[in-house]
Structure 1
Amino acid sequence: MAVTLHVCITCRAGQTIPEGEPTPGARLRDAIVETGVPDGVKLVPVECLSACSQGCSVALSAPGRWAYVYGRLSEANARDVVAGAAAYAAAPDGLVPWRSRPEIFRKQSLARIPPMTALPEAAE
């Protein structure tokens, strides 16, 4: 089961970006690619994670697992994001033990979302 690492590439992290320059979110994505995406993790750039006031953000998700959104990130955090994604990929339910998470994932979590489950059939 593949894990998806979404990276908001439109994030400006509160900065004014000159026309044609990459956004901080795009630079974070590029730094993650340069660091190396872990096996079993698919990197997907997205145009918004609606965490605009929280700096650069990423989300980790997989079917049947808890999902997480992390913010206040920059390209300097790429190595920790990759380590956190690898730990998430290794956790069957998405719950990585707190002490096993990179520090940025312990301190900069914006949301934890329960796994999607099949909805019961609608009553007739």
Structure 2
Amino acid sequence: MLEPVEDGPAVVACNTCRHSKTEREDAQGQRGGARLVEALRAVQSGEERFAGIAVQEMPCLFACGDFCTVHVRAPGKIGYVMGRFEPGEEAATAILDYTLLLSQSEHGQVPFRQWPQGVKGHFITRTPPAGFVAA
């Protein structure tokens, strides 16, 4: 049921997410989550600054009221679940940029003024790292 992965900065994308609020799949019959995983991997592999961020995927993050959801995380840092993305290069770049900032921060809290425009309005929850709660 659980698959071990590297414990480092990562974007965990739901590969079964809906394409949009009203559509389960796109015109080619692919789920939005699968498209977002493709976009994340393409951007990550083409940008050296994202080399230290893993793109991981799993079925269902249980944020089904939203669509195209990801969990961004780094060891010992607050993580975030974000969603309602258009599954493409622009969203993938913003998600990876935010994950990079999160991984470089002291506790996983990135000042709002540094947020990439593409993640604003997409936050669903924040998750404390194991053994901690946010103060």
TM-score class, shorter = 0.7 to 0.9
Q: How does 1:33-72 map to 2 (within 5 A)?
A: 33-36=41-44, 38-72=50-84
Matches of 1:4 and 1:34, distance apart in 2: 15
Aligned CA RMSD, in angstroms, stands at 2.0
Q: Give the TM-score normalised by structure 1.
A: 0.82
Task: Tell me which stretches of 4 or more aligned residues in structure 1 moved more than 3 Å.
Answer: none
Q: How does 1:94-109 map to 2 (within 5 A)?
A: 94-109=108-123
Percent identity among equivalent residues? 27
Instruction: Please state whether the residue corresponding to 2:60 is helix, strand or coil.
Output: coil
Cα deviation per residue 1:5-56 (whole Å; 9 max; x = unaligned)?
10001012341438x8321110011011111251221111010111112111
Q: What is aligned with 1:121?
A: none
Unaligned runs of 5+ in 1: 119-124
1:86 is matched by which residue type in structure 2? Answer: L
2:53 is matched by which residue type in structure 1? Answer: V
Q: What is aligned with 2:31?
A: 23
Matches of 1:73 and 1:116, distance apart in 2: 27
Instruction: Report the structure, 1 or 2, having the larger strand content.
Output: 1
Matches of 1:69 and 1:51, distance apart in 2: 9
Q: Cα 1:40–1:92, aligned 2, differ >3 Å: closer, same or farther?
A: farther
Matches of 1:57 and 1:45, distance apart in 2: 11
Matches of 1:109 and 1:16, distance apart in 2: 21
Larger radius of gyration: 1
Native 8 Å contact 2:79 2:128 kept in 1 = yes
Q: Give the TM-score normalised by structure 2.
A: 0.76
Q: What is aligned with 2:104?
A: 90
Unaligned runs of 5+ in 2: 1-6
